[in-house]
Amino acid sequence: MSTMTENQIPENQIPLTPEQIESFGEELDAIRQRVLADRGERDANYIRKVIRAQRGLEVAGRGLLWAGVFPPAWIAGTAALSLSKILDNMEIGHNVMHGQYDWMNDPALSGKQFEWDNACPADQWRHSHNYMHHTHTNIVGKDRDIGYGVLRMSEDQRWKPYYLGNPVYATLLALFFQYGVALHDLEVERLTSGEAKLAEKRTLLGGIWRKVRRQTLKDYVIFPALSGPFFLFPLAGNATANLVRNVWSFTIIFCGHFPEGTHEFTEEETENESRGQWYYRQLLGSANLSGSRPFHILAGNLSFQIEHHLFPDLPANRYAEISTEVREICERYGIPYNVGPLGKQFGSVVRKICRLSLPDRKGRGELLARSA
Amino acid sequence: MSPPTTAAAPSRRAIPGLGLLDLIAGPHGIDGYLGQISPTMVTGECRAEVVAARHGTEDSVTLTLRPNRVWQGARAGQFVQVSVEIDGVRHTRCYSPASPEGSGRELEITIKRHPDGLVSNFLADHAQPGMVIGLSQADGDFHLPDPRPDSILLIGAGSGITPLMAILRTLSAEGHGGRIALIQYAPDPDRTIYRQELDRLAAENPNFKLSRSYTRAPGAGELDGHFSPAHLPQAEPSFATAETFACGPPALLDAVRGTWANGLERRLHVESFAAPSLLPVGEPGTGSIRFAGSNLEVENTGASILEQAEQAGVPAQSGCRMGICHTCTCRKLSGTVKNLLTEEVSAAPDEEIQLCVSAPLSDLVIDL
């Protein structure tokens, strides 16, 4: 199966002249400069409002789950805590840790100091995500978000029988996503292949262990214990909230880079990139989700994955308003702008996960030829 | 003296069970929730509520602050860092409280408008009861010593009067019996900060002698013109034996330092109230500064390293911008810099330097 966008731009060939790609980059730079100069009280008020809502939902959720023996309290509490964890990780944690609000000089919103309600230690996230993923977006072999070291998400990853389990691994990763993210910086696949040694990863492991222990104690020991004999109700509520957050963030994040039409790149293709070419790669490697304003907030505005990848350190509440301009620029230069509703984009991700569990058609042909 | 690292330096008082609370409230900590109820309820950051704002002169505002429980009090003469948020951005400046030592839960600061001063004009225009500002713990060596000296001379210009006011009020509250003299420099009587209170103190205390010089209203005060050694015999004949505290702009302090030479220096304490003029030490435009953390390199313009970092868009913490608060202190990985305040040269690698008062003497690598 081949999509429109892939037909338009075969083999990642840039259809623009060097002059065009540079003027394309300059137009995007101009958007960036304009938003940078305009940051102010509006953005500060926005992120503080989201934090206020998150803290309120969390306190309400924990309180209701304390009395979780009553079914309505359990349902409302689990919903509130799920929303709290989603807001904390997506619109607050992810964006604050990008340094989107560093210009405010507020220690509570400092990208370097922020810690989130997630098993992954914030400092490891900043390395694996802000640096590795955002610098090397969709470069196979360098961007470890392509499959998180366990999945086959690109034809450029060579098929092996292990990948027959692709759909199963993806389901497990979705259910336990926070632990997948926590182990991300460990580079488990390089450990199993012998490229890296466990001894080198001691510090990382220590950090993960401390963070996971704190998170586990809080969600699965202390808060349940506060309910005494009814400890099972908050325990189940907390587990459900973590699960809901895991599946939600997995869904949003996988829809950001893996729907049909997004491109992967090789290291050779991206050597000595200019600013315009870098923008171009971020655009082709990302896909947006259409939806309502509450949907975008719960998605941490990663539903504007394209704008986020072009401008990872601009306050995320600005992505919606600049997306119309970015789209217009793309149309003018004939560059595909990949956007669709959640159902369509996620369906396409699921199909890709299943399709890539099998050898490529070309590969399959070779296999057949060899066996014949 | 250990300088505060940031305006939000943790200075948490021991509250039983805080460890468990922090685990429950993790990862944001108990302050992440208390601060939502009221910004001054936090336990790890000093903040204060403005309880009164009074315009003592046309170009100054005097704020009465009520700090939260984190505040540990100040010695008379010390400074604090005050943080306010203007259009979403937190700005920090140093001010010396004018309230006396041990004055309970309240703190008074006086802010004089600077023509281009972002924070001073913001506070003068917008400070009103209920506003919450950030505060650091008090710091600085410029304070009244223990035991109190027998004879004290105070020299202050403009808003440099504020730490001297704290000293005077403290001595007055203690019923100090020794001699106290104050020479106050101001443009004219209307722009004389704390004029009425000082007049009253002078009238009530025979051991307190007040002399004023109005630099733009000759003849209106006991003295005339900017500081000169000729002012001293008239204001305090035995100035050579008095413990002297001077606060004001660099020109005043330079003149005072010039007078207190040849062995008198040890009786002189000074506090600068304006940024030193940053004259390029190396040739401007020679050499480069590399900001290792941001992976950015710029040509040295001759300005302070802090200014060059800001121009390059490197996120640098800063506070007083005059070399006293150490908020901008940063590790220099290699290269030589000169501290423009102290003339000290730092040539060894891995030394902490104050970015706002340091200028490059060679190629630099800064851990920023």
Domains for chain B: give ranges and CATH numbers.
18-135 (2.40.30.10), 151-272 (3.40.50.80), 288-366 (3.10.20.30)
Nearest to B185 by CA among B143, B231, B243, B152: B231
Length of chain B: 368
Per-residue pLDDT tens digits for B216-247: 999 999 999 999 999 999 999 888 899 999 99
Residue of B nearest to A105 (CA): B90
Asked whether the beta carbons of residue A214 and residue B23 sit closer than 8 angstroms, the reply is yes
> Is a pLDDT exceeding 80 seen at residue A367?
no
Place of tokens 């302090």: B253
> N- to C-terminal Cα distance for chain B?
24
Torsion of CA B66, B159, B101, B130, to 10 degrees: 0
**Does residue A232 form part of some domain?**
yes
Q: For position B274, what pLDDT does the model report?
A: 58
Neighbours of A96 (CB within 10 A): 26
Nearest to A121 by CA among A173, A178, A187: A178
**Does residue A274 form part of some domain?**
yes
If phi over 0 gives left and psi between -120 and 50 gives alpha, with beta otherwise, what is residue B12?
beta
Provide the percentage of residues in chain A whose pLDDT is more than 70.
93
Give contacts of B28 with chain A, Cβ < 8 Å. Answer: 55, 115, 117
Query: Residue A343's pLDDT band (boundaries 50, 70, 90)?
Result: very high
**Does residue A65 form part of some domain?**
yes
Contact A31, A322 (CB under 8 A): yes
Give contacts of B23 with chain A, Cβ < 8 Å. Answer: 214, 217-218, 222
Which of A191-195, B131-135, B171-175 has the weakest average pLDDT? Answer: A191-195
Give the mean model confidence (pLDDT) for residues A208-220. Answer: 96
Provide the percentage of residues in chain B whose pLDDT is more than 70.
89
Q: How far apart are CA A126 and CA A46, in angstroms?
A: 23
pTM of the predicted model over 0.90? no
Contact A106, B91 (CB under 8 A): no
Per-residue pLDDT tens digits for A34-50: 998 899 999 999 999 99
How many domains, in total, are found in chain A? 1
Closest residue to A55, CB basis, from B20, B32, B87: B32
Higher per-residue confidence, B85 vs A313: B85
Q: Residue B110: what are its φ and ψ, rounded to 5°?
A: -115, 130
Q: How far apart are CA B66 and CA A207, in angstroms?
A: 40
Give contacts of A223 with chain B, Cβ < 8 Å. Answer: 24
- Enumerate the β-bridge partners of residue B247: B156, B271
> Is a pLDDT exceeding 70 seen at residue B156?
yes
Q: For position B16, what pLDDT does the model report?
A: 64
Give the mean model confidence (pLDDT) for residues A300-323. Answer: 96
- Enumerate the β-bridge partners of residue B155: B183, B246
Count of CB pairs separated by less than 8 Å, A with B: 59
Residues from B in contact with A at Cβ < 8 Å: 6, 8, 20, 23-24, 26-28, 32-33, 35-36, 45, 85, 87-92, 315, 317
Give the mean model confidence (pLDDT) for residues B195-209. Answer: 96
> The domain containing residue A112 runs over which residues?
4-355
**Does residue A38 form part of some domain?**
yes
Nearest to A284 by CA among A15, A2, A1, A83: A15
Closest residue to A43, CB basis, from B24, B45, B88: B88
Q: How far apart are CA A249 and CA A260, in angstroms?
A: 19
Q: Which two tokens stand for residue B60?
A: 């100054």
Q: For position B4, what pLDDT does the model report?
A: 34
Relative to beta strand B151-157, strand B243-248 is parallel
Closest residue to B90, CB basis, from A55, A59, A106: A106
**Does residue A367 form part of some domain?**
no
Q: Is A325 exposed, middle or buried (0-12, 13-18, 19+ CB in 10 A)?
A: middle
Contact B67, B138 (CB under 8 A): no
Per-residue pLDDT tens digits for B2-15: 333 333 334 444 55
Q: Residue B225: what are its φ and ψ, rounded to 5°?
A: 80, -175
Nearest to B56 by CA among B202, B158, B138: B158
Tally the C-alpha atoms within 13 A of residue A43's C-alpha that lie toward its C-beta: 28
- The CA distances from residue B147 to A168, A337, A346, B143, B243, in Å, are 77, 75, 75, 12, 12
Which of A166-170, A186-190, B64-68, B209-213 has the weakest average pLDDT? Answer: A186-190
Contact A89, A114 (CB under 8 A): no
Asked whether the beta carbons of residue B88 and residue A39 sit closer than 8 angstroms, the reply is yes
- List of E strands, chain A: 288-290, 339-341
Q: For position B14, what pLDDT does the model report?
A: 52
> N- to C-terminal Cα distance for chain A?
26
Q: How many helices (H) and strands (E) does chain A have?
A: 19, 2
- The CA distances from residue A136 to A114, A139, A236, A256, A285, in Å, are 23, 6, 39, 15, 10
Q: Is A189 exposed, middle or buried (0-12, 13-18, 19+ CB in 10 A)?
A: middle
Give contacts of A122 with chain B, Cβ < 8 Å. Answer: 27
> Is a pLDDT exceeding 80 seen at residue A11?
no
Place of tokens 């006011």: B165
Residue of B nearest to A53 (CA): B36
**Minimal Cα–Cα distance from B286 to chain A, Å?**
28
Q: How far apart are CA A263 and CA A279, in angstroms?
A: 13
Asked whether the beta carbons of residue B89 and residue A40 sit closer than 8 angstroms, the reply is yes
Rounded mean pLDDT of chain A? 91
Neighbours of A161 (CB within 10 A): 7
Cα angle, residue B191 at apex, residues B188 and B193 outer, rounded to 5°: 120
Q: How far apart are CA B327 and CA B86, in angstroms?
A: 19
> Is a pLDDT exceeding 50 seen at residue B281?
no
Relative to beta strand B132-135, strand B80-86 is antiparallel
Higher per-residue confidence, B333 vs B276: B333
Q: For position A12, what pLDDT does the model report?
A: 59
Asked whether the beta carbons of residue B92 and residue A105 sit closer than 8 angstroms, the reply is yes
Which of A1-10, A275-284, A315-324, B240-249 has the weakest average pLDDT? Answer: A1-10
Rounded mean pLDDT of chain B? 87
Q: How far apart are CA B284 and CA B84, in angstroms?
A: 34
Helical packing angle, A41-66 and A71-87, nearest 10°:
150
**Does residue A16 form part of some domain?**
yes
> Does residue B100 have a cis peptide bond before it, meaning omega lies within 30 degrees of 0?
no
Closest residue to B87, CB basis, from A40, A56, A116: A40
Query: Residue B187's pLDDT band (boundaries 50, 70, 90)?
Result: very high
Provide the percentage of residues in chain B whose pLDDT is more than 90.
62
Neighbours of A229 (CB within 10 A): 6
Give the mean model confidence (pLDDT) for residues B266-286. Answer: 62
Give contacts of B330 with chain A, Cβ < 8 Å. Answer: none
List, in order, residues 6 or more apart from B35 with CB less than 8 Å away. Answer: A108, B41, B42
Torsion of CA A222, A226, A227, A229, to 10 degrees: 80
**Does residue A361 form part of some domain?**
no
Q: Residue A54: what are its φ and ψ, rounded to 5°?
A: -65, -45
**Does residue A256 form part of some domain?**
yes
Q: CB distance from A187 to chain B under 8 Å?
A: no
Q: How far is CA B170 from the centre of its chain?
A: 19
Helical packing angle, A342-355 and A166-175, nearest 10°:
130
